[in-house]
Amino acid sequence: MIILLAIPVAVFLAYKLLKWFPMTSTLFRIVYTLYTKTPLGYLFHLHQLNQYKSSHDQPHSNVTAWTCNGIKIIPIAICYDNYSYLIISLGNKQAVLVDPSDPDTIKEVVARENVKLEAILTTHKHWDHSGGNRALQAHFPGIAIYGSPIDNIPSLTHPVEDNDVIRTGSIKFTAIFTPGHTLGHTVYLLDGAPFDVPDSLFSGDLLFLSGCGQIFEGQPSEMLHSLQMISVLKDNTLLWPGHEYAAKNLMFALTIEPNNPFIRSKLDSVLALRTNKCNTCPSTIGEEKSYNPFLRTHITDVISAVGLDVLPPEQNENLHASVLKALRERKNNFK
C-alpha cells in the first residue's frame, strides 16, 4: 500500500523536475509516458486541480464571454492557466464544450447558462485538456465526445479525421489535424457564417497568443506544417487558445524582434488586461501573423535572431523548420 501511494508522489516530483531535463532525455520520456499512458497521469491531474482550489479563492482569470448575433463563447478558467470553452447557440440553447479538464467547474457553468450540452471536442490527450471527459460523460449520458483516435482520448465516442465536419443544430465545426504537440493533436474551426460572425479557432496547445505548444511527440517539420495550415485561415478568424500565456509569450517575442511595433503594442494591451486578471483571448489569425514568432519563421529578422542564415527559396522548408526548432528551444529556456 505504501508503495502504491508513493508512486503518484514520485511521478508528481519527477514532473516538477522535467523542466530541468531535455525532452530527449530518458527521464523525460519515462515520466511523459507515465503521464500520458497510465492512470498516474490522471491522478496527477486531479492533484493539480485540488492543489489549485485549496490555495486559490478565485480562478486564474476574470473571463468575459464573447456574444454576437446569437452565438456565445465563454472562456472557462481552469487550474493555473488552462482555458476550456463553452460555445452556445442562443436560439436553441444547444452547447458544445472544448477541452473540459475540470468537470466540477464545467458543470457549474453549464447549469448557470441553462443549456443542453450536446458534445465535447477534445484537442488532445493531455489530462489538462481531456481530464473531465469521463466524469462529464457520466453526468450527461449520451454526450458525444470527439477527438483523434491517434491520441487515446478518454471516453472517446466519435473519432475524427482531418476535415471532418461536426454539426450540432446551427453550430458547425471542422476538425483540422495538427500533429506536433502530440501525434494526434486536432483543432476545431467554428463556422461563423450561420451567425454572420467571424470563424473561431479553438487551438488547444497548437497555437497560443504569440506562441505555440511544445513539440512533445512530433517533429519540428510537423509542427511547422500544422502552423502553416492555420496561418492561411481568414485573418479575422478569432483565436481561442488552451492556455493564458499571452504576457510571457509576448515578452519572449520582443527578444526575437525588438523593433517590431506590433509586439510592443500588443504587450502593452495584454499587460493592461492582466493587471485586472482579465482574459486576453481572443486574438485573431491576422494579429498573430504580425507578432507571433512561430508564425513568422519566414521573416528575415526572425531567422537572423536565432543565428541562422537566409537560404535560397528551394531550401526554405528545411530552413523554416530549423527556425521553428530554434525558437522553441529558446522559448523553453526563457524565464
Number of other residues whose CB lies within 10 A of the CB of residue 210: 31
- Measured CA to CA in angstroms, residue 314 lies from 299, 318, 324 at distances of 16, 9, 18
Nine-digit cell string for 243: 492556455
Residues 17 and 119 in one domain: no
What pLDDT score does 63 carry? 98
Residues 32 and 87 in one domain: no
Residues 109 and 176 in one domain: yes
Residues 158 and 33 in one domain: no
What pLDDT score does 263 carry? 99
Nine-digit cell string for 35: 503521464
Residues 188 and 101 in one domain: yes
pLDDT tens digits, residue range 182-193? 999 999 999 999
- 13 pLDDT above the threshold of 60: no
What pLDDT score does 1 carry? 44
For residue 277, how many C-alpha atoms fall within 13 Å in the half-sphere facing its CB?
8
- Measured CA to CA in angstroms, residue 184 lies from 30, 125, 180, 221, 294 at distances of 20, 8, 8, 15, 20
pLDDT tens digits, residue range 82-114? 999 999 999 999 999 999 999 999 999 999 999
Catalytic site positions: 124, 126, 128-129, 181, 205, 243
Number of other residues whose CB lies within 10 A of the CB of residue 4: 7
Residues 113 and 20 in one domain: no
pLDDT tens digits, residue range 107-141? 999 999 999 999 999 999 999 999 999 999 999 99
Name the domain boundary from 149, 169, 201: 201
CA distance 280 to 211: 13
Residues 186 and 102 in one domain: yes
Amino acid at 244: E
Task: Note whether residue 309 is domain-resident.
Answer: no
Q: Average pLDDT over the chain, rounded to whole? A: 93
pLDDT tens digits, residue range 217-254? 989 999 999 999 999 999 999 999 999 999 999 999 99
50-67 average pLDDT score: 96
Question: Residues of the chain with pLDDT > 90: what percent?
Answer: 86
Largest Cα separation within the chain, whole Å, is: 62
DSSP codes joined into one string, 222-253: HHHHHHHHHHTS-TT-EEEESB--HHHHHHHH
CA distance 165 to 75: 23
Q: Which domain holds residue 41?
A: 2-55
pLDDT tens digits, residue range 190-209? 999 999 999 999 999 999 99
Name the domain boundary from 148, 179, 201: 201
- 24 pLDDT above the threshold of 50: yes
Task: Note whether residue 225 is domain-resident.
Answer: no
Residues 79 and 24 in one domain: no
Residues 17 and 99 in one domain: no
Nine-digit cell string for 95: 452547447
| 8 Å CB contact between 70 and 91 | yes
Nine-digit cell string for 130: 481531456
Task: Note whether residue 216 is domain-resident.
Answer: no
Task: Note whether residue 317 is domain-resident.
Answer: no
Question: Residues of the chain with pLDDT > 70: what percent?
Answer: 92
Residues 146 and 118 in one domain: yes
The pairing of beta strand 207-208 with beta strand 171-177: unpaired
| 8 Å CB contact between 120 and 133 | yes
Closest CA to 150 of 187, 184, 180, 178: 184
Task: Note whether residue 321 is domain-resident.
Answer: no
Say how many domains are in the chain.
2
196: CATH: 3.60.15.10
Name the domain boundary from 155, 171, 201: 201
Task: Note whether residue 119 is domain-resident.
Answer: yes
CA distance 317 to 227: 13
Residues 97 and 147 in one domain: yes
Task: Note whether residue 265 is domain-resident.
Answer: no
Task: Note whether residue 129 is domain-resident.
Answer: yes
Band of pLDDT at residue 310, cut at 50, 70 and 90: confident
- 328 pLDDT above the threshold of 60: yes
What pLDDT score does 29 carry? 87
Residues 161 and 87 in one domain: yes
Band of pLDDT at residue 288, cut at 50, 70 and 90: very high
